[in-house]
Amino acid sequence: MTQEQNGIKEMQQTVDTVSVLKPDERQRSRLDVLASHFRSRFNREPSFFVRVPGRVNLIGEHIDYCGYSVCPMAIEQDILVAVCKSEDDNALQLTNVDDKYQDYRHDALQEIRDLHLNEDGLGPTWHKYYLCGIKGALEVIPEEKQPRGILAAVWGNVPPNAGLSSSSALVSAALLATVHASQHTMSKEDMATVSARAERYIGTQGGGMDQAIAFLGKTGSAKLIEFNPLRSYDVSLPEGAVFVIAHSLVDHNKAATSDYNTRVLECRLAAQIIAKKMGIDWHQVQKLIDVQELLKKNLEDMSTIVMKELHEEPYDCEEINQILETTPEELKSISNVTYDPTRRLKLKQRALHVFQEAERVAAFQTVCQRKDMEELARMSQLGRLMSSSHSSLQNLYECSHPRIDALVTAAIDSGALGARLTGAGWGGCIIAIVSNENVEEFVNRLKKEFYQNDERANSLNLSSYVFQTEPKQGAAIYCSL
- What is the footprint of ligand ADP within residues 399-438 (CB under 6 A)? 423
Given the complex with ligand NG1, which of 147 and 217 has the nearer CB atom?
Answer: 217
Long-range contacts, 27-32 (Cβ 8 Å, 24+)? 27/51, 27/80, 27/478, 28/481, 30/80, 30/155, 30/157, 31/80, 31/82, 31/478, 31/481, 32/481
If the CB atoms of residues 165 and 435 are measured against ligand ADP, the closer one turns out to be 165
Choice from 129, 227, 355, 397 touching ligand ADP (CB under 6 A): 129
Among 95, 161, 286, 435, binds ligand ADP (CB under 6 A): 161
Indicate whether 177 belongs to the interface with ligand NG1 (CB under 6 A).
no
Of 46, 160, 208, 383, which lies in the binding site for ligand ADP, with binding defined by CB under 6 A? Answer: 160
**Backbone Cα Rg of the chain:** 22
Among 30, 37, 62, 197, binds ligand NG1 (CB under 6 A): 62
Q: Which is nearer to ligand NG1, 177 or 421 (CB)?
A: 421
Instruction: Note whether 204 binds ligand NG1 by CB under 6 A.
Output: yes
Under the binding rule (CB under 6 A), the answer on residue 70 touching ligand ADP is no
- Compare residues 227 and 442 and give the one whose CB is closer to ligand NG1: 227
From 64, 78, 190, 210, active-site residue? 210
Using rule CB under 6 A, residue 254 touches ligand NG1:
yes
Q: Does 210 bind ligand NG1 (CB under 6 A)?
A: yes
CB atoms within 10 A of CB 293: 12
- The residue sitting closest to ligand ADP, measured at its beta carbon, is 156
Q: Is 16 a catalytic residue?
A: no
96 binds, among ligand ADP, ligand NG1, none (CB under 5 to 8 A by kind): ligand ADP
Among positions 27, 166, 193, 422, the unique one binding ligand ADP when judged by CB under 6 A:
166
To the nearest whole angstrom, how small is the minimum distance from the Cβ of residue 61 to ligand NG1? 4
- 292: contact with ligand NG1 by CB under 6 A: no
- Evaluate whether 68 touches 357 at the Cβ level (below 8 Å): yes
- Residues of this chain, 251-270, that bind ligand ADP according to CB under 6 A: 253-255
**229 cis-preceded (ω within 30 degrees of 0):** yes
Q: Which residues bind ligand NG1 (CB under 6 A)?
A: 57, 61-62, 64-65, 163, 165, 167-168, 199, 204, 206-207, 209-210, 254, 423-424
Q: Which residues bind ligand ADP (CB under 6 A)?
A: 79, 96, 98, 101, 124, 126, 129, 154, 156, 158, 160-168, 170, 253-255, 423
Catalytic residues: 210
